[in-house]
Amino acid sequence: MAATRPRALPPVMSCTNTKALLDHTTFLAWADALRAEAPALSRAGFLVLLPAPLFDSAVRAFAGTGIAWGAQDVWSDGAPPTGELPAEALAHAGCQAVMCGHHERRRRLGESDTDVAGKAAAAAGQAMVPVVCVGEREEGPAGRAVTAVLDQAAPVLDALPADAPLVWLYEPAWTGGAGAPAPYPQIAEVAAALRERCAGRTGDTRVLYGGAVTPGVLTRALEAGAALDGMGIGRAAHDPAQRAAVTAELLDLLASREQAAAPAPRKAPT
């Protein structure tokens, strides 16, 4: 039976997709390191996206830490063929979120924008948070990136209930081998376009940037005016010093938002 209760999202977020790079032993060692940093990581809304063989270990490793975890994909088109996992199975396993539309799946498996929208809706239907990857395939002008992202986003917004939580991960495919993030003004333009397109939604919506993320990328993107809620972290998530530095930037962003939202102190009567 589909779950219907919307999930609230943390005010700032970070996520990492482990792909299939970690075997069981390596994952447990990495999870031990994350548990030691759990107070900071949980405040930074840290989310780990894992392959199915690591789900059971994730249940035990992250219990009580505040570190969230989820799946890297979901089947949505009718009865799943052998080897595919439907949203109900992922939710039953304990997944809190599902990545949808990673650029590798779009390119290598031919997933369409409509396919990605179906996956996002399937995840939301089981009260899991869809983390929807969007981004242009090739480097080019900012306007072209905005157009590509909004084209990818439109079917998702049509498919999702307005009150369903949603995370956008803007991750240009070309940044994977570029060694540098997308231009910061471009990140700002894309984030602004996504926020404008989501203005009528009632569910929590977060906009993250991923792609060659290292310490300083979030700070420079914010300085360029990017209305981001966090970062998608790749290799930096597995380097203790870089992970700590990016987490510190996220906590600075959280502190600035909490300060901005705090009521002004009352003036003493004269």
For residue 86, what are the β-bridge partners? Answer: 75
Residue type for position 14: S
Q: How far is CA 232 from the centre of its chain?
A: 6
- Which one from 102, 111, 189, 249 is the annotated catalytic residue? 102
Assess contact for 58 and 94: CB atoms under 8 A: yes
- Which one from 111, 136, 171, 189 is the annotated catalytic residue? 171
Identify whether 104 is a catalytic site residue: no
3-state secondary structure of 17: strand
Identify whether 171 is a catalytic site residue: yes
CA 213 to CA 137: how far, in whole Å? 17
Residue type for position 234: G
CA 246 to CA 237: how far, in whole Å? 9
CA 28 to CA 54: how far, in whole Å? 9
Active site residues: 102, 171
